[in-house]
């Protein structure tokens, strides 16, 4: 029997509806609607090797409309990845390879975690950017080792999310011609037909961004889809949006084209009716005949593609051994040997100079000191480079149709910046960092969360960290942001107290393998803390005894982070004048301190010393974890005000006298 394209697409449809039916949970409509598009892309164009999902020469495929995850799982299973029928039967179940939305690291072949709509699209922009940058840095005439496409599936919901505007606008500016996106234009979201809440002229919108747009493609016509992809791949200066008109739930005789098939199982009767309507003669659930499996199998083709690339790379190694070694180092995510010496010099210089500078300035000096040792650095800022101090002197700016630099002016696009950085890191070969004001971390928050969820080495440089920014007032004063960010699992939030702690924060951020870092940095100048070798080593543990009580036997403990460490030290001195001996503990990174062994934590915060006070110019709640219910916190649990920073600190109780009085009242 001749296997047709429709047969191949129908295999995706039946596996998707069977998995959702068995789980009684999921979204069968999108996989059924986009099956024909996926069949053409995966069988005729996508370069990949199921036996080696991490091969660097592969194309990238992202499912931005991740609720339709069974489409991707069916594709991975059919083409020969390590995703079995039993894995499909375990869709959305405990510790399965087929979670409700695609998750990076959980499923072989999944390039990014998607589900929060629009972010997969933004990740795709980052991946396409990384491909272009890596190509420019490593390809040589006659030796093209970087040359792949990034393909993104997306839906109406992705385009309604604002991050799609931020990221796609930049993709047009950069002219990322190897980014090809497929818009599943099915007119349906969970609430029903989208006409009443989504009336954009999407093709015109993307043309205004500077994209090439292929309009009105019948998403169920394989020949039309193939021709659209050929047209997209012919572009030399623009990304492409292929607008595919589809029917959600295609094949379901009673539910296709309605929101009933969007987010719930079809039901046993409709599954049976769909099999019949599709002409799928096999009644057994999850059954695909061997001739269809053989037609889908991509293992031999993938092995041949990777072998051809390996031959190219071997020739490249012979001609350019140093570049080849650097290429392998960077794709492996290994830190350059030169980094250790560079960061050690920065720390030593800060110790000897003891500068009284804002930690945002210290961060800028650190970046300047380590950038040459980190060719994988890709810096940037959301229109605040001079305030964030993120741009170093030798940085080369990316610009319109110019992506051969290493510094990105993202414009006022905090969310897009963060999601693009995730994509850059996911592609491999780069360590991205980006800056904005800490208050605007709220705009970036879900992308920051995705960095942590996926375990990506991304660095967020967030300045103007407290009421210390002064006159801009409560709209710009981050009261709750630091503690709310500390609630995100697997995110290191650093709030350094001086230049040395800032350099240590950068050292930690660069050396992380599966943890993003966020630096909350001051606008105002902070004094040097007078570090010795021991305190430098201890600061790397996230919390440490900065200055102990005389004799090393404290009656109480003052804890602080950032700009308030100075205040704690002054309060310690005043209490000492009254014969009260207290210890000062600096806590630049609570997450790292919590990760230390119990003995170390006890040495810093001995249980026997229960009289404790914490000081931080932000919300107080998390600090009770360290001071206990019998302790107290000098903080700010209300919004700020517009006034010079010294006035605000005084009015809100961040004074030596208030800290001393609050401690004495314990």
Contact 395, 448 (CB under 8 A): no
d(C-alpha 165, C-alpha 296), whole Å: 35
The SS3 assignment for 158 reads helix
Instruction: Retrieve residue 249's tokens.
Output: 């739930």
Provide the CA 370 distance to its chain's centre, in angstroms: 23
How far from 341 is each of 245, 329, 372, 533, CA to CA, in Å? Answer: 56, 18, 11, 16
Distance CA 153, CA 27 (A): 15
For residues 603 and 473, give the distance between their C-alpha atoms in angstroms, rounded to a whole number. Answer: 40
DSSP string, 373-419: G-TTEEEEESS-HHHHT---TT--B-BTTB--SSEEE--S-HHHHHH
Instruction: Give one DSSP letter per residue of 424-465, joined into a string.
Output: HHHHSS-EEEEEEEGGGHHHHHHHHHHHHHHT---EEEEE--
Please give the structure tokens belonging to residue 384. Answer: 């605040």
Cβ neighbour number for residue 89 with a 10 Å cutoff: 16
- Angle at which helices 321-332 and 119-138 cross, to 10°: 160
Q: Are 76 and 109 in contact (CB under 8 A)?
A: yes
Own/partner contacts of 405-408, CB < 8 Å, gap of 24 or more, are 406/133, 406/377, 406/378, 406/379, 407/378, 407/379, 407/380, 408/378, 408/379, 408/380, 408/381, 408/434
Per-residue DSSP letters for 586-642? E-S-HHHHHTS-HHHHHHHS-TT---EEEE-SS--GGGHHHH-TTSEEE---S---S
How far does Cα 341 stand from its chain's mean position? 28
Distance CA 285, CA 292 (A): 15
Is residue 523 classed as helix, strand or coil in its secondary structure? Answer: coil
Which residues are identified as catalytic? 414
- Cβ(609)–Cβ(629) under 8 Å? no
The answer to whether the beta carbons of residues 497 and 529 sit under 8 Å apart is yes
How many whole angstroms separate alpha carbon 93 and alpha carbon 100? 8
Q: How far apart (Å, rounded) are the C-alpha atoms in residues 193 and 259?
A: 7
> Residue 347 class from Cβ within 10 Å (0-12 exposed, 13-18 middle, 19+ buried)?
buried
**Phi, psi at residue 549, to the nearest 5°?**
-65, 155
In angstroms, the CA 429 to CA 139 distance is: 14
Phi first, then psi, for residue 461 (nearest 5°) are: -105, 105
Question: How far is the C-alpha of 388 from the C-alpha of 462, rounded, in Å?
Answer: 7
């Amino acid at each position: 029997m001749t296997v047709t394209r429709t047969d191949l697409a129908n295999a995706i449809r039946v596996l998707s509806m069977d998995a959702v039916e068995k789980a009684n949970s999921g979204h069968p409509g999108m996989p059924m609607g986009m099956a024909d598009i996926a069949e053409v892309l995966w069988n005729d164009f996508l370069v990949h090797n199921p036996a080696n999902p991490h091969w660097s020469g592969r194309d990238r495929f992202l499912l931005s409309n991740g609720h339709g995850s069974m489409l991707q799982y069916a594709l991975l299973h059919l083409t020969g990845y390590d995703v079995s029928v039993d894995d499909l039967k375990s869709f959305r179940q405990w510790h399965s390879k087929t979670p409700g939305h695609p998750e990076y690291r959980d499923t072989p072949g999944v390039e990014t975690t998607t589900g929060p709509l629009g972010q997969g699209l933004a990740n795709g922009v980052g991946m396409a950017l990384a491909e272009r940058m890596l190509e420019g840095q490593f390809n040589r005439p006659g030796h093209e080792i970087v040359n792949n496409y990034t393909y993104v599936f997306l839906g109406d919901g992705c385009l309604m999310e604002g991050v799609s505007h931020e990221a796609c606008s930049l993709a047009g500016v950069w002219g990322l011609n190897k980014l090809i996106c497929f818009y599943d234009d099915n007119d349906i979201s969970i609430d029903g037909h989208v006409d009443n809440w989504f009336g954009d002229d999407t093709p015109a919108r993307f043309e205004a961004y500077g994209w090439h747009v292929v309009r009105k493609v019948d998403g169920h016509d394989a020949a039309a889809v193939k021709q659209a992809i050929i047209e997209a791949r012919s572009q030399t200066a623009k990304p492409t949006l292929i607008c595919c008109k589809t029917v959600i739930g295609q094949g379901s005789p009673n539910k296709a084209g309605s929101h009933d098939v969007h987010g719930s199982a079809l039901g046993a009767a409709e599954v049976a009716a769909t099999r019949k309507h599709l002409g799928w003669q096999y009644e057994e659930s999850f059954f695909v005949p061997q001739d269809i499996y053989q037609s889908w199998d991509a293992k031999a083709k993938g092995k041949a593609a990777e072998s051809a690339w390996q031959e190219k790379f071997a020739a490249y190694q012979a001609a350019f051994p140093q570049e080849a070694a650097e290429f392998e180092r960077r794709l492996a995510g290994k830190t350059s040997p030169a980094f250790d010496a560079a960061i050690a010099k920065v720390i030593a210089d800060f110790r000897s100079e003891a500068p009284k500078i804002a930690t945002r300035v210290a961060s800028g000096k650190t970046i300047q000191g380590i950038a040459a040792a980190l060719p994988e650095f890709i810096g940037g800022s959301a229109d605040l480079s001079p305030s964030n101090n993120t741009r170093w002197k030798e940085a080369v700016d990316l610009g319109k149709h110019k992506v051969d630099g290493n510094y990105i002016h993202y414009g006022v696009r905090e969310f897009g910046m963060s999601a693009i950085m995730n994509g850059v890191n996911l592609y491999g070969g780069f360590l991205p960092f980006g800056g904005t004001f800490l208050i605007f971390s709220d705009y970036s928050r879900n992308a920051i969360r995705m960095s942590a969820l996926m375990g990506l080495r991304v660095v967020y440089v967030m300045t103007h960290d407290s009421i210390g920014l002064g006159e801009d007032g409560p709209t710009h004063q981050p009261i709750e942001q630091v503690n709310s960010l500390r609630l995100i699992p697997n995110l290191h939030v650093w709030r350094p107290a001086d230049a040395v702690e800032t350099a240590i924060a950068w050292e930690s951020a660069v050396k992380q393998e599966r943890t993003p870092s966020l630096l909350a940095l001051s606008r105002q100048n902070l004094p040097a803390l007078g570090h010795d070798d021991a305190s430098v080593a201890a600061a790397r543990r996230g919390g440490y005894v900065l200055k102990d009580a005389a004799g090393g036997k404290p009656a109480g403990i003052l804890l602080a982070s950032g700009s308030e460490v100075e205040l704690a030290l002054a309060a310690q001195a005043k209490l000492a004048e009254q014969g009260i001996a207290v210890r000062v503990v600096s806590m630049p990174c609570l997450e790292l301190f919590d990760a230390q062994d119990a003995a170390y934590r006890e040495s810093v915060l001995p249980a026997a010393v229960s009289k404790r006070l914490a000081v931080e110019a932000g919300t107080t709640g998390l600090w009770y974890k360290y001071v206990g219910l019998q302790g107290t916190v000098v903080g700010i649990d209300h919004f700020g005000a517009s006034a010079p920073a010294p006035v605000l600190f005084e009015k809100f109780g961040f004074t030596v006298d208030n800290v001393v009085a609050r401690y004495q009242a314990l």
